C-alpha cells in the first residue's frame, strides 16, 4: 500500500522503517533533510512538501511533537487539507490534547477527510521493534481500514471510541507512567537513605505486587544513572499539560499528576529537559542531597 508519513523524529523514523520492511511503499516528509535522506536510503520516496504527500496518498500518518504542530500540518497553509482528496484517512499518531483532536476532526470532516487520533505508548525501543501499544479514536470504519497498517508498528491497536478517545487513553497512560517513575524513584531513595542497596530492593520486589512494566524498564536506568532519552522529560511535561488541561475541562481531579509536573518543571529548569523521564530520580537526588 502507498502510505504518506509526515514526522521522522525519534519515534516516527523507526515506525516508518518498519512499514518499509513490511513491504509498504512510503512517501515521507520532514523538515529535517537528514531524516528525509535516511528514509530515502531505506527505500522511501522523499516529498518536497506536505502538500505533495497529500496529493499522492490516500492514507497519511503523522507523528509530530504536539497539538500546534498537528494543527499546522493538517489544517494550516500548505497543509494536508489543502490538497487531500475526499476519503483520505489521516492517522495522527502524535500525542495531543483530546479537545484539539476533536476540533481538528471537525475541520477534516468539512473537507470529506477522516482523521484518527492514534497515539502510542512504548517509547523509542518499542518503536524500533514494532511493539508499540496504539490507542485509537475516530470513525470505526476508518480504523478498520488502517488496522493492519497499525499492527505493523505496534503489538496492539485498540479502538477506544469516538474521536479524542485515543488521546484520552494516552494522557491516562502518561499519568500512570509518570506517577510510577516517581514512586520507583521515591522508593529507591528511601532504600538508599535507610542503608539498603536500591538494586537489591529492586530485585526483591520486582516479582511481587509492586512490580510493573514501568519499574522493569526504568528501574535499571535509574540504578545505572542512564538518562539517555527514550522519552524526554520535555515531552512528558507536554503530555502532563494535556492531561491537566483535560482534567480541568471535565472536572477530574489530578493532584498527584500536578505534583509530578512540578518535579518535571524543576528538572527542566535545571537543564534536564532532554533527559529520559527516568530522570525524575534526579529530583529526589536534588532534594535529598544523595545519589540513588
Report pLDDT for 60: 98
Q: In this model, does residue 80 exceed pLDDT 90?
A: yes
Q: Which residues contact 12 (CB under 8 A, 6 or more apart)?
A: 5, 30, 63, 93
Q: Which residues contact 203 (CB under 8 A, 6 or more apart)?
A: none
Residue 120 confidence class, pLDDT cut points 50, 70, 90: very high
At 215-241, the pLDDT tens digits run 999 999 999 999 998 889 999 999 999
What are the start and end residues of each CATH 1.10.1040.10 domain in the chain?
Answer: 168-288
For the segment 260-266, the average pLDDT, to the nearest whole number, is: 98
CATH classification (class only), 2-163: alpha beta
At 4-39, the pLDDT tens digits run 999 999 999 999 999 999 999 999 999 999 999 999
Task: Output the nine-digit C-alpha cell for 228.
Answer: 539517555
Between CA 164 and CA 136 the distance in angstroms is 8
Strand partners of residue 59: 89
Average pLDDT, the chain: 96
Report pLDDT for 159: 98
Q: What is the 8-class DSSP label of residue 84?
A: P
Strand partners of residue 132: 154
Report pLDDT for 1: 83
Report pLDDT for 195: 98
At 82-97, the pLDDT tens digits run 999 999 999 999 999 9
Q: Which residues contact 162 (CB under 8 A, 6 or more apart)?
A: 137, 138
* Beta strands at 89-92 and 114-117: parallel, antiparallel or unpaired: parallel
* Beta strands at 120-121 and 89-92: parallel, antiparallel or unpaired: unpaired
Percent of the chain exceeding pLDDT 70 equals 100
Enumerate the active-site residues: 170
Higher-confidence residue of 286 and 125: namely 286
Report pLDDT for 228: 93
Phi and psi dihedrals of 155, rounded to 5? -80, -20
Q: pTM score, two decimals?
A: 0.90
Q: What architecture (CATH level 2) is domain 168-288?
A: Orthogonal Bundle (1.10)
Report pLDDT for 230: 82
- The alpha carbons of the chain give a radius of gyration, in whole angstroms, of 20
Between CA 63 and CA 106 the distance in angstroms is 20
Between CA 164 and CA 116 the distance in angstroms is 8
Q: In this model, does residue 108 exceed pLDDT 90?
A: yes
- The DSSP element (H or E) to which 259 belongs, if any, is helix 255-269
Q: Which residues contact 210 (CB under 8 A, 6 or more apart)?
A: 187
At 180-216, the pLDDT tens digits run 999 999 999 999 999 999 999 999 999 999 999 999 9
Between CA 11 and CA 205 the distance in angstroms is 31
What are the start and end residues of each CATH 3.40.50.720 domain in the chain?
Answer: 2-163
Amino acid at each position: 500500500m502507498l502510505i504518506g508519513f509526515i514526522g521522522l523524529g525519534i519515534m516516527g523514523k523507526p515506525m516508518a522503517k518498519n512499514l518499509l520492511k513490511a513491504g509498504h511503499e512510503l512517501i515521507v516528509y520532514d523538515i529535517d533533510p537528514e531524516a528525509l535522506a535516511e528514509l530515502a536510503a531505506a527505500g522511501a520516496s522523499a516529498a518536497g512538501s506536505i502538500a505533495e504527500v497529500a496529493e499522492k496518498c490516500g492514507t497519511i500518518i503523522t507523528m509530530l511533537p504536539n497539538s500546534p504542530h498537528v494543527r499546522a500540518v493538517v489544517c494550516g497553509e500548505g497543509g494536508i487539507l489543502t490538497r487531500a482528496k475526499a476519503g483520505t484517512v489521516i492517522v495522527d499518531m502524535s500525542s495531543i490534547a483530546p479537545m484539539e483532536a476533536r476540533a481538528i476532526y471537525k475541520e477534516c470532516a468539512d473537507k470529506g477527510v477522516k482523521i484518527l487520533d492514534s497515539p502510542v505508548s512504548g517509547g523509542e525501543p518499542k518503536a524500533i521493534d514494532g511493539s508499540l501499544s496504539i490507542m485509537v479514536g475516530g470513525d470505526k470504519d476508518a480504523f478498520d481500514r488502517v488496522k493492519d497498517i497499525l499492527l505493523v508498528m505496534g503489538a496492539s491497536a485498540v479502538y477506544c471510541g469516538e474521536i479524542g478517545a485515543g488521546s484520552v487513553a494516552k494522557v491516562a497512560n502518561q499519568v500512570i507512567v509518570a506517577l510510577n517513575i516517581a514512586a520507583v524513584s521515591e522508593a529507591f531513595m528511601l532504600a538508599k537513605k535507610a542503608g539498603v542497596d536500591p538494586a537489591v530492593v529492586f530485585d526483591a520486589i520486582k516479582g511481587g505486587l509492586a512490580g510493573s512494566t514501568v519499574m522493569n524498564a526504568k528501574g535499571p536506568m535509574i540504578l545505572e544513572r542512564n538518562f539517555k532519552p527514550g522519552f524526554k522529560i520535555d515531552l512528558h511535561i507536554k503530555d502532563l499539560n494535556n492531561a491537566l488541561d483535560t482534567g480541568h475541562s471535565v472536572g477530574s481531579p489530578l493532584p498527584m499528576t500536578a505534583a509530578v509536573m512540578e518535579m518535571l518543571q524543576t528538572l527542566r529548569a535545571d537543564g534536564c529537559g532532554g533527559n529520559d523521564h527516568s530522570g525524575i530520580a534526579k529530583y529526589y537526588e536534588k532534594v535529598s542531597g544523595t545519589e540513588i
